[in-house]
Amino acid sequence: MTQATEYSTQSSFPFPDAFSTSLTAMFDEVQPAIVQVHTERRGGGTGIIWHRDGRIITNNHVVPSDTAKVQVHLSDGRTLDATVLHRNPPLDLAMIKVSGDNLQPLSVGDSSALRVGALVFAIGHPWGQRWVMTAGIVSSLSAVKRSDGLEVNYIKSDVQLAPGNSGGPLLNAEGQVVGINAMIFGGDLSVSIPSSVVNTWLAELPRRHVALGIEIQTIELPDHISQQLQPQRSSGLLVVGTTARAEYLSDILVGDILLAAAGTPLHDAKTLRYVLRQRAEGDTLSLHILRGGKFLSVDAVTQTLDEAA
């Protein structure tokens, strides 16, 4: 008599399902921070939202012209115009900038912690196909001396890349960007610029800060003015000069006394800087001011200024 054998339909090795679920969750989390970059007369590439103020990192060869129109496509369907802020052709890096709300930056990981055999992922737009994810392992970590004498570090992996992936992220297993995908090497290995190289380049750039384009000094308020304010305060910020173009200044005049910005009482310059750090370039900031003994509400447009590193 033949004995029937029962087979379980339930996997005794659940890791693949758990791993698949984790990858799906990682993709959903990082997708909003990865954009498609389209350059007029050139084609498309990929970019990474590096800061919520709209700064995006991509490859220099994705945006090689300073005159061509550049647009960025977001995963939520928005299309935003972009401008090139900085570029580094030897490293094949560029920073572009867009203005928009609810921009989600990608978390940056430590590329120096990568080891050969580590699992990595790439997300980009190969051949125009949007938000395609591929997986591989780190094949080698090496430094190459260029003809100009510059030594450049690279990550080589077997993640699948194609035209359109350039400028996109190489992600570690935690979903952090550890490299910027740049090219195919030898037909099968993908080359990425380590995040440590990107961070070093960014640290050498002039720092940028959001400002109102005015020169101020802290002054004591007369008692009869102070008592009318809620909450009461003894000091305000006197506008003593301007550094911005007229279109940024809006209704601010030299001699105005700033009392509050976006509802926050202004006791000193430090408080104003705190408010501005929460803003992006081009935001409209509501100001409560004192002008000629009268309380007024005016709007000012924020701008971004460079300062020495």
Active site residues: 61, 92, 166
Q: Collapsing DSSP states into helix, strand and coil, what is residue 227?
A: coil
* Residue 28 φ/ψ, nearest 5 degrees: -60, -35
Give which of 230, 222, 280, 286 is closest to 258, Cα–Cα.
286
Read off the tokens for 50: 């590096």
Give which of 106, 160, 163 is closest to 135, Cα–Cα.
160
Q: Which residues contact 172 (CB under 8 A, 6 or more apart)?
A: 109, 114, 118, 119, 120, 178
Give which of 215, 220, 213 is closest to 267, Cα–Cα.
220
Q: How many CA atoms lie within 13 A of 45 on its CB side?
A: 28
Rg of the chain on CA atoms, in Å = 26
